[in-house]
Amino acid sequence: MDILNSITDAFYQYFWNMNSRLAVLYLAVTVVIAYVIWLTRGRPQTFVKWLLPASVYRHKSNLVDLKIFLFNAVLALVGFFAAISFAPIIASTLLTSFVNLSGETYVPHEFSWGRSIVATIIMILTLDFCKYWAHYIHHEHPALWPFHAVHHSAEVMTPLTVARVHPFFRVLQILIVAVIVGAAQAVILFAVMGQIDLVTIGSANAGYVIFNMLGSNLRHSHIWLSYGRRMEHIFISPAQHHIHHSSDKKHFNKNYGEVFAFWDWMFGTLYITSGEEDLTFGIADADGVRIEQPHPTLWAAIIHPFIESFEAMRAPKRPKPAPKPQ
């Protein structure tokens, strides 16, 4: 019975929990958005064939997506990821410490919607900032890239591709978010709210509900959706994330952001779309030459990154180029 309950809970977390991008509601909204796009593009073929092309959903890469998803689901089932998801614990512990250090005269701020909104915005920005840098370092660090390369080796993309993630990548991202976001939440709640406020935390989650309701599943799909040049300086569109997955050299290391594009804008990694581009997904070498699928099986996707990461750590460091004469 415990095993059955665990399986039911794992299924719920993926397909009904509003914190999961694969929640049924988000998938349903994605279909509605896709239907509108299909209409605006002149109904090129029947909607079902356009939405679920056999060339994408029967592709071997999509089958690997499914296997990795199930593998991570098993790890989640045994509590592997939950064991390190301790951001709330850090937030609660630090907040309690701040209150204790303030002494007996400390009085929490009175609740107000203004304070709650300010705290919510700061928390959402902090979380997205952490995700930007976690994403960035996995691209830029040779020993970390092999783990993230599992995600980028997808040759076709469907909403399930969001779960094509190496467990080690998930662990590092969870740890970064737990430590930094947990600490930030404590500071914010103490300075702005003065107490653990479930409305504020819930509102931060609500921010991601809105994000997921606005077509986040199209980020991993064959359907191009751009927000336009102005909005793509603020929010990362599905089209911009397609660019991020492109194997074209001119698209390398662009659009790391999850929700907000201004992190990329600030740090020089933003790519604005000017029209639909003909993209090829997958991994390429430094010259933009496609690399044969490095993860054709679940075994390769899980084991090979450890080998490649170890080799990257053993590789001699390249000397820095001598400064050019002035």
- Give the DSSP per-residue string, 146-201: HHHHHHHT-SS--GGGGG---HHHHHHHHHHIIIIIHHHHHHHIIIIISS--HHHH
Position 195 scores a pLDDT of 57
Position 159 scores a pLDDT of 95
Alpha helices in the chain (DSSP H): 2-15, 24-40, 47-51, 54-57, 60-77, 87-102, 113-140, 145-152, 167-176, 182-188, 198-213, 238-245, 262-267, 298-314
Q: What is the pLDDT of residues 80-89, one digit of tens each?
A: 666 556 666 7
286 by Cβ neighbours in 10 Å (0-12 / 13-18 / 19+) ranks as exposed
What's the DSSP call for residue 219? G
Position 326 scores a pLDDT of 35
Q: What is the pLDDT of residues 229-257, one digit of tens each?
A: 999 999 999 999 999 999 999 999 999 99
Separation CA 153–CA 111 (nearest Å):
48
- Residue 197 φ/ψ, nearest 5 degrees: -115, 110
Contact 258, 236 (CB under 8 A): yes
- The half-sphere exposure of 58 on its side-chain side, counting CA atoms within 13 A, is 4
Q: Which of 26, 21, 36 is nearest to 213 (CA)?
A: 26
Position 325 scores a pLDDT of 41
- Cα Rg, the chain, nearest whole Å: 22
Separation of CA 74 from chain center: 20
Separation CA 213–CA 93 (nearest Å):
33
What pTM, to 2 d.p., does this model score?
A: 0.85
Contact 256, 151 (CB under 8 A): no
Separation of CA 207 from chain center: 15
Position 267 scores a pLDDT of 96
Contact 83, 89 (CB under 8 A): no
Local mean pLDDT, 10-residue blocks, the chain (326 residues): 60 75 92 97 95 96 95 79 64 72 66 72 84 92 95 97 93 80 74 58 65 91 95 96 96 95 97 93 92 95 96 74 43
Separation CA 130–CA 87 (nearest Å):
13
199 by Cβ neighbours in 10 Å (0-12 / 13-18 / 19+) ranks as middle
